[in-house]
A and B are shown apart, each in its own frame.
Chain A
Amino acid sequence: AQSVTQPDIHITVSEGASLELRCNYSYGATPYLFWYVQSPGQGLQLLLKYFSGDTLVQGIKGFEAEFKRSQSSFNLRKPSVHWSDAAEYFCAVGVPTNAGKSTFGDGTTLTVKP
Chain B
Amino acid sequence: KAGVTQTPRYLIKTRGQQVTLSCSPISGHRSVSWYQQTPGQGLQFLFEYFSETQRNKGNFPGRFSGRQFSNSRSEMNVSTLELGDSALYLCASSLAYGLAGVHEQYFGPGTRLTVT
Binding site for B on A (CB under 8 A): 32, 34, 36, 41-46, 49, 51, 90, 94-107
Contact code string B39-62 (vs A, CB < 8 Å = 1, else 0): 000110101111000011010000
Q: Told that A41-B112, A101-B45, A105-B42 touch, could you supply 6 new A-B pairs with CB distance under 8 A?
A: A42-B110, A44-B107, A46-B105, A99-B98, A100-B98, A104-B43
User: How many angstroms from the CA of A2 to the CA of B43 in the assembled complex?
Assistant: 14
Find out whether the CB atom of B102 lies under 8 angstroms from the CB atom of A46.
Answer: no
Report how far A95 CA is from B102 CA in the complex, Å: 7
Inter-chain CA distance A98–B99, complex, in Å, is: 8
Q: Size band of the B side of the interface?
A: 20 to 34
Q: Which secondary structure dominates where chain B touches chain A?
A: strand
List chain B positions with a Cβ less than 8 A from chain A: 4, 6, 31-33, 42-43, 45, 47-50, 55-56, 58, 90, 92, 94, 97-102, 104-110, 112
Kindly report which residue of chain B lies nearest to residue A36, judged by CB atoms.
B107
With known contacts A43-B90, A90-B43, A107-B42, A97–B99 Cβ distance under 8 A = yes
Chain B residue at minimal CB-CB distance from A31: B102
